[in-house]
Amino acid sequence: MILSIESSCDDSAIAITEIKTKKLLFHKKISQELEHSVYGGVVPELAARLHAEALPKILAECEPYFKDLKAVAVTSTPGLAVTLVEGVTMAKAIAISLDIPLIGVNHLIGHIYSLFIQKESQFPLTVLLVSGGHTQVMEVKSLHEIQTVAKSMDDSFGESFDKVAKMIGLGYPGGPLIEKLAKDGDRLKHNFTVPLHQSPLIAFSYSGLKNAVRLAIQKADGDTSTYKDIAASFEHIATKHLTMKLKKYFKTNPPKTFAIVGGASANLYLRSQIKELLKPHNADLLLSDLKYCSDNAAMIGRVAIDMYENKMFTSPHELSSAPRSSL
């Protein structure tokens, strides 16, 4: 079995996964959404302190599995520097005390493997990753061959939902709150400009849309009855930006199997629009279970199985937690 730890942002999670069967035997996540909600975003030092409380609590529940552990895995990059180090330090201590190999997992590859929890992996894939930290398209040939072909030049898709929710005063995380508010709104009420619609670049940008939404909120002058239309129009244009750029990319790189991963891949409007986009290509769409879209340790454990089988280990004095890394 492999014990895996995730602490790259505001979720403390630990999983136990059986190597041979890929079965998830244990998974527990303690989220900090409530604690960060009053600030409208994640406060790194607060997050680190909460990880230091939550991770040992979850680890205590894993004790019955200790004797069967063959390796310990941990998200080592990318993420918040002060929170990554909480998981990495714990993983090193476990590796040293149980004398088992240590596996440092890239969080973005973790999101890709959220598609394969309790399943065989399936490649090649074209993947759209939409999370709080990233918006990128990747061509994934295998665990070792991942090429990023488009990414955001500023804010990420999920982050723009968080910021709009903060402007409206909804709390954090903004994604699910905006999605809920948008349900009864008119998507066509506000004609926000689609970012980079005239640019030939296959890239993403959300800062301009965020500012256009800010102006619409200011114009509403506290009339909260208009917020549902603003939320719906924002969600519509934020999604249209993704589908327009993907459509352009597909002209030269038609997808065979496409996947959406990351916290924001739980968004049902986004899922429906991508489904429509894939129809003319007859491409399959892979999605993670809703409970594994956002950060979790089960996806880290699933990558770790493939890394274990490829003997991709790091010694405890070499593994560092790097806040930034590219794929």
Residues lying near ligand KG4 in the complex (CB under 6 A) are found at 9, 131-133, 158-159, 161-162, 173-176, 179, 262-264, 266-267, 294-295
> Given the complex with ligand KG4, which of 8 and 101 has the nearer CB atom?
8
- Among Zn ion, ligand KG4, none, the one that 101 touches (CB under a kind-dependent 5 to 8 A) is none
The structure tokens listed for 64 are 């019955």
CB of 116 to ligand KG4, least distance (A): 16
CB of 183 to ligand KG4, least distance (A): 11
CA distance 67 to 152: 44
Report which of 162, 154, 144, 206 is spatially closest to residue 9, judged by C-alpha positions: 162
What count of other Cβ atoms lies within 10 Å of the Cβ of residue 2? 27
- Among ligand KG4, Zn ion, none, the one that 87 touches (CB under a kind-dependent 5 to 8 A) is none
Beta bridge partners of 257: 284
What are the strands, taking DSSP E only, across the chain? Answer: 2-6, 11-17, 24-31, 71-77, 102-106, 125-130, 135-140, 146-151, 257-261, 284-287
Query: Which region, judged by CB under 5 A, interacts with Zn ion, from 35-43, 51-59, 129-137, 157-165?
Result: 129-137
- Give the residue, chosen from 6, 159, 162, 295, that forms a contact with Zn ion under the rule CB under 5 A: 295
> Given the complex with ligand KG4, which of 288 and 314 has the nearer CB atom?
288
Strand arrangement, sheet containing 125-130: 146-151, 135-140, 125-130, 257-261, 284-287
CB of 306 to ligand KG4, least distance (A): 20
CB of 263 to Zn ion, least distance (A): 6
Binding flags for Zn ion, 250-279, as an x/- string (CB under 5 A) = ------------------------------
> Given the complex with ligand KG4, which of 71 and 108 has the nearer CB atom?
108
* 199-212 burial code (b ≥16 CB/10 A, e <16): eeebbbbbebbbeb
Query: Which region, judged by CB under 5 A, interacts with Zn ion, from 30-38, 128-136, 146-154, 250-258?
Result: 128-136
> Given the complex with ligand KG4, which of 6 and 229 has the nearer CB atom?
6
CB of 234 to Zn ion, least distance (A): 22
8 Cβ contact partners less than 8 Å away, ≥ 6 residues apart: 75, 78, 79, 80, 83, 84, 87, 107, 295
Site for Zn ion in 36-55 (CB under 5 A): none
131 contacts Zn ion (rule: CB under 5 A): yes
* Phi-psi region at 169: left, alpha or beta (left = phi > 0; alpha = psi -120 to 50): left
CA distance 129 to 151: 9
CA distance 258 to 127: 6
| Cβ–Cβ < 8 Å for 144, 121 | no
CB of 40 to ligand KG4, least distance (A): 11
Number of residues that bind Zn ion (CB under 5 A): 2
CB of 80 to Zn ion, least distance (A): 11
> Given the complex with ligand KG4, which of 33 and 186 has the nearer CB atom?
33
Query: Which region, judged by CB under 5 A, interacts with Zn ion, from 59-67, 165-173, 249-257, 287-295?
Result: 287-295
> Given the complex with ligand KG4, which of 114 and 314 has the nearer CB atom?
114
| Cβ–Cβ < 8 Å for 39, 21 | no
- At 88, is the secondary structure helix, strand, or coil? helix
> Given the complex with ligand KG4, which of 95 and 231 has the nearer CB atom?
231
Q: What residues line the site for Zn ion (CB under 5 A)?
A: 131, 295
